[in-house]
Amino acid sequence: MQTGEKIAERAGDVSMALSNAAHLLTSRPAQAEAQALEILKVIGGHPEAQLILGAARRRQGHASSANAILAPLAASQPRSAKVQFEWAMTLASLGKTEAATAALRRAAALKPDMTEAWRALGDLLVMAGDGRGADIAYSRQIQSSTSDPELMQAAAALCEDRLAVAERVLRERLKVHPTDVTAIRMLAETGTRLGRYADAEALLARCLELSPSFTAARHNYAIVLYRQNKAVEALPEIDRLLATDPTDPGYRNLKAAALGLVGEHGQSIEVYEAVLKERPEQPKVWLSYGHALKTAGRQSDSIAAYRRTLDLAPQFGEAYWSLANLKTYRFTSADVAAMERQAGRADLADDDRLHLHYALGKAFEDAEDFKASFEHYSAGAAIRRAQIDYSPTETTALVARSKALFTGEFFAAKVGLGCDALDPIFVVGLPRSGSTLVEQILASHSMVEGTMELPEIIALARSVGARTVNAETAGYPEALADLAAAELNAMGEQFIERTRVHRKLGRPFFIDKMPNNFLHVGLIQLILPNAKIIDARRHPMATCFSGFKQHFARGQNFSYDLGDIGHYYRDYVDLMAHFDAVLPGRVHRVLYEDMVSDTEAEVRRLLDYCGLPFEGACLKFYENDRAVRTASSEQVRQPIFRGGLDQWRHYEPWLDALKTALGTALETCSGASPG
């Protein structure tokens, strides 16, 4: 019979072995498994050893084996939050999403301060399309991260969306405790919700400098980088997250999205497919998969993915809009009836409702019921306009300041400055003006590569504006006047370097088709004086109404009100006329109507401006199978359609507000090309 001393010694050995095994789980799961098995040889059925064994096997990718251990353990230990959590993660790995969600809810209920349970629950709810539920779960994750009264106050303010209160409390906290990583991360979350992504990025970088193993902060950091179109920087962070948990669905979906941003569409699709193979009942993931397939030109597969989204979540308005946004897709009468049923629900989220309105607008347009179509487009736009903060006078003021700065004398004094690269071809204008067609024609040339709407010029403009010291003085574009020659050259070289990741074919020229870059023609001239600039223009009524009936994934906030978009177009024409005057011949204008009526002549003019020899492939642009990310992706895979030039006239009875806002821009809509 064992003495009490020996029993205590044996218990101490087991306790130490369990502690060691638990410590090994994150970095060396195979060793943790071996340690757990040794403990179970001594004490068969030990619950904590079984938990470690199951967790270790899941982390090594053996989910079925893990489930065989954890399922009976969860049944015998129903009040253990740790067991319920680990079983939930195993169920998620097996694609059993509903059961995993239920187990996570049990874990969080048993231990409300279990931050990892709230985060995992949020990730699962995001994939299930439950945005509101995910927001609540993520907020509870933050709220449960500390018991400090001050931080609890800030967390409660974040949960209740009282962002000003949260910011004040956290800033006061960090004055006293500047290395409090929890407070830093929470302040970054406040910045993210306010759209201050650059501030959030800096805070999270500091947080990770202090605590490199702070996984939740690294996840936030990767998301903030991604939302700023810094996919190149985000991908290494995502890979570090995946190194800690290769099966995490949130990390994998973020990687797929980031890969798409850098043009690695094949890899992006592979990641989505792997996730969906394991977790097929995720409507939001099916939607993202559909977007990736659309970009890659796999239209029938993208339609099937969008349809699968709707099978799983019939109220998911964005899936219907994604079908409509193919432009070539036609809804059936059954589709229309289903959309109307969903739109009639009183409990529908605003985002689902506005997407349904846009999709119904397209359905009734195709059916030539233009009154009903306009009513739906208007209803969708009104919901979106109420969600955003946009002032048309800010754009008008920016144009006025740009005209004041960018004079002929100003540019004459800057001759010879900037980066002398010849590579970039900028296509500017307004969305839905024919810019994707111009890009597709040029990208069909053997010397030109099409990329996407690149964010780098806008990011450079913001960096210049951020240099302003006096808050009462506008930073951009005025601050450009103070930049030295070396700084202008460095900015041009930075643009070339940061866009290199999008160039996959090794061709000497590439296209940046960000339409809003018309606001930054002056900046482009200063930092890349040899770059080509093409202004893609279309009849103002056609352009503006086409933009009004388009729901953009992000940005283009001027497009959700007929008056706003009319003023924006007028500002655009005004600024481009100014550059025609102070930089004669610098910008080449392509009129969509001319391109349609005499395609070959316009293509030859375009290629001449770019210094490129004529190639017949540019006339067969629709045979180019390159990836296209914009709303016109399916249209430019077909020959030019001449019947859509005056489509806006079907809606003319309801467009008086647009005509009024356009004013003189409507009177001078022919827009002769200076190039």
Burial of 233-246, coded b for 16+ CB within 10 Å and e otherwise, reads bbbebbebbeeebe
Per DSSP, the residues of 270-333 read HHHHHHHHH----HHHHHHHHHHHHHTT-HHHHHHHHHHHHHH-TT-HHHHHHHHTTSS----H
> Cα(86)–Cα(34) distance, rounded to whole angstroms?
18
Per DSSP, the residues of 464-530 read HHTT---TTS--TTGGGGG--HHHHHHHHHHHHHHTGGG--S--SEEEE--GGGGGGHHHHHHH-TT
The three-class DSSP label of residue 631 is coil
Which residue, among 201, 205, 167, has the nearest Cα to 187 in the 3D structure? 167
> Cα(27)–Cα(245) distance, rounded to whole angstroms?
10
Residue % of the chain over a pLDDT of 90? 64
Residue 412 has pLDDT above 60, yes or no: yes
Beta bridge partners of 589: 535
- DSSP-assigned letter for residue 554: S
Strand 509-512 relative to strand 448-452: parallel, antiparallel, unpaired?
A: parallel
User: Could you tell me the pLDDT band of residue 468, with boundaries at 50, 70 and 90?
Assistant: low
Whether this model's pTM surpasses 0.85: no
Q: In this predicted model, what pLDDT tens digit does every residue of 69-80 receive, in sequence order?
A: 999 999 999 999
Residue 473 has pLDDT above 60, yes or no: no
Hey, what are 331's tokens? 């809804």
User: Could you tell me the pLDDT band of residue 21, with boundaries at 50, 70 and 90?
Assistant: confident
Cα Rg of the chain, angstroms: 28
- Helix, strand and coil content of the chain, in percent to the nearest 5, comes to 70, 5, 30
Which residue in this structure is represented by tokens 């059916």? 367
Q: In this predicted model, what pLDDT tens digit does every residue of 255-289 receive, in sequence order?
A: 999 999 888 999 999 999 999 998 898 999 999 99
pLDDT of residue 465: 85
User: Could you tell me the pLDDT band of residue 216, with boundaries at 50, 70 and 90?
Assistant: confident
pLDDT of residue 639: 57
Residue 632 has pLDDT above 90, yes or no: no
- DSSP-assigned letter for residue 652: G
Hey, what are 263's tokens? 């043009």
Q: Which range among 52-56, 554-558, 585-589 has the greatest average pLDDT?
A: 585-589
User: Could you tell me the pLDDT band of residue 633, with boundaries at 50, 70 and 90?
Assistant: very low
Residue % of the chain over a pLDDT of 70? 92
Taking CA atoms, 506 is separated from 297, 383, 435, 446, in Å, by 22, 44, 23, 10
User: Could you tell me the pLDDT band of residue 4, with boundaries at 50, 70 and 90?
Assistant: very low
pLDDT of residue 272: 95
pLDDT of residue 559: 95
User: Quick one: fold of 418-465+476-667?
Assistant: Rossmann fold (3.40.50)
**Residue with the larger pLDDT of the pair 145 and 311:** 311
Q: In this predicted model, what pLDDT tens digit does every residue of 288-334 receive, in sequence order?
A: 999 999 988 899 999 999 999 999 999 999 999 999 999 889 999 99
pLDDT of residue 669: 61
**H/E stretch holding 125:** helix 115-127
> Cα(367)–Cα(270) distance, rounded to whole angstroms?
37
Q: In this predicted model, what pLDDT tens digit does every residue of 593-625 receive, in sequence order?
A: 999 999 999 999 999 999 999 999 999 888 866
**H/E stretch holding 452:** strand 448-452
- DSSP-assigned letter for residue 630: S
Residue 328 contacts by C-beta under 8 Å, 6 or more apart in sequence?
Answer: 299, 634, 635, 638
Which residue in this structure is represented by tokens 């195993």? 90
Hey, what are 162's tokens? 């009282």
The phi and psi torsions of 498 (rounded to 5 degrees) equal: -70, -25
> Stretch 187-191: mean pLDDT, rounded?
93
Residue 467 contacts by C-beta under 8 Å, 6 or more apart in sequence?
Answer: 475, 479
Q: Which of 34-43, 648-657, 663-672 has the lowest mean pLDDT?
A: 663-672
> Cα(378)–Cα(228) distance, rounded to whole angstroms?
29
> Stretch 443-465: mean pLDDT, rounded?
92
> Cα(208)–Cα(87) distance, rounded to whole angstroms?
29
- Average pLDDT for the chain: 89
> Cα(264)–Cα(256) distance, rounded to whole angstroms?
9
Residue 586 contacts by C-beta under 8 Å, 6 or more apart in sequence?
Answer: 525, 533, 579
pLDDT of residue 641: 60
pLDDT of residue 133: 82
**Calculated CA dihedral for residues 473, 478, 481, 484, nearest 10 degrees:** 80
> Cα(226)–Cα(233) distance, rounded to whole angstroms?
8
Hey, what are 605's tokens? 């003019």
User: Could you tell me the pLDDT band of residue 20, with boundaries at 50, 70 and 90?
Assistant: confident
Residue 386 has pLDDT above 80, yes or no: yes
Residue 391 contacts by C-beta under 8 Å, 6 or more apart in sequence?
Answer: none
User: Could you tell me the pLDDT band of residue 469, with boundaries at 50, 70 and 90?
Assistant: very low
> Cα(99)–Cα(651) distance, rounded to whole angstroms?
50
**Calculated CA dihedral for residues 320, 322, 327, 331, nearest 10 degrees:** -20
Hey, what are 512's tokens? 């940046």
The three-state DSSP-derived secondary structure of 236-256 is HHHHHHHHHCCCCHHHHHHHH
